[in-house]
Structure 1
Amino acid sequence: MQQLENGISAGEIGDAVWRKSRHSNANGNCVEVARLSDGSVAVRNSRFPQGPALIYTREEMVAFFAGVKGGEFDFTLS
């Protein structure tokens, strides 16, 4: 299995099936995610589909979403 590093071109991630939220806006300012075969998650900017991707472990994503649900990032909305 290929070890993926942050900043890899999203086009080089062969097993990625990219998804974006149904809440994304029509002008393409979206973040897309893909679950990878090793359980990690790739994240890319939908406007630059061949651009760099960030790779996170499952544990990192669980911690991030727990923080979102817990209101830890609400300061970004004000």
Structure 2
Amino acid sequence: MHAYNGMPATDIAGVTWRKSAHSNSTGNCVELAELPDGSVAVRNSRYPDGPALIYTRDEIRALVLGVKDGEFDGLLV
């Protein structure tokens, strides 16, 4: 399988989609899945059949570290 940005998330077979425990009961969250090549797919949990975005491990690492450091806290207002 060759994963690419914008591909239907349903075309990504054999992965486990993970969602934050902070997601609310209506499913308003993003889900992430590790792909066989080590990259990470991201989809909108409200539209699981919609497009997936594919990121490298380094891109996801930078995002997670930025979140942990509070760099995106202004988006929660």
Q: Do these two structures clear the TM 0.5 threshold for a shared fold by scoring above it?
A: yes
1:41 corresponds to: 40
Alpha-carbon distance between aligned partners in 2 of 1:26 and 1:33, rounded to the nearest angstrom: 18
Contact 1:20–1:31, Cα closer than 8 Å, also in 2? yes
* Counterpart code for 1:42: A
**Length-normalised TM-score, structure 2:** 0.90
Identity %: 61
2:68 matched residue in structure 1: 69
Which residue identity is paired with 2:60?
A: M
Q: How many residues align?
A: 77
Runs of 4 or more consecutive aligned structure 1 residues displaced over 4 Å after TM superposition:
none
| Cα deviation, residue 3, structure 1 | 2.5
More moved, 49-58 vs 19-28: 19-28
Q: Which runs of structure 2 are paired with 1:1-78 in the superposition (5 Å)?
A: 2-78=1-77
Task: Give the conservation status (yes or no) of the 8 Å contact 1:29–1:47.
Answer: yes
Q: Deviations over 1:5-49 (max 9, x none)?
A: 110000101132111112210112121111111111111111211
AA partner of residue 59 (structure 1): D
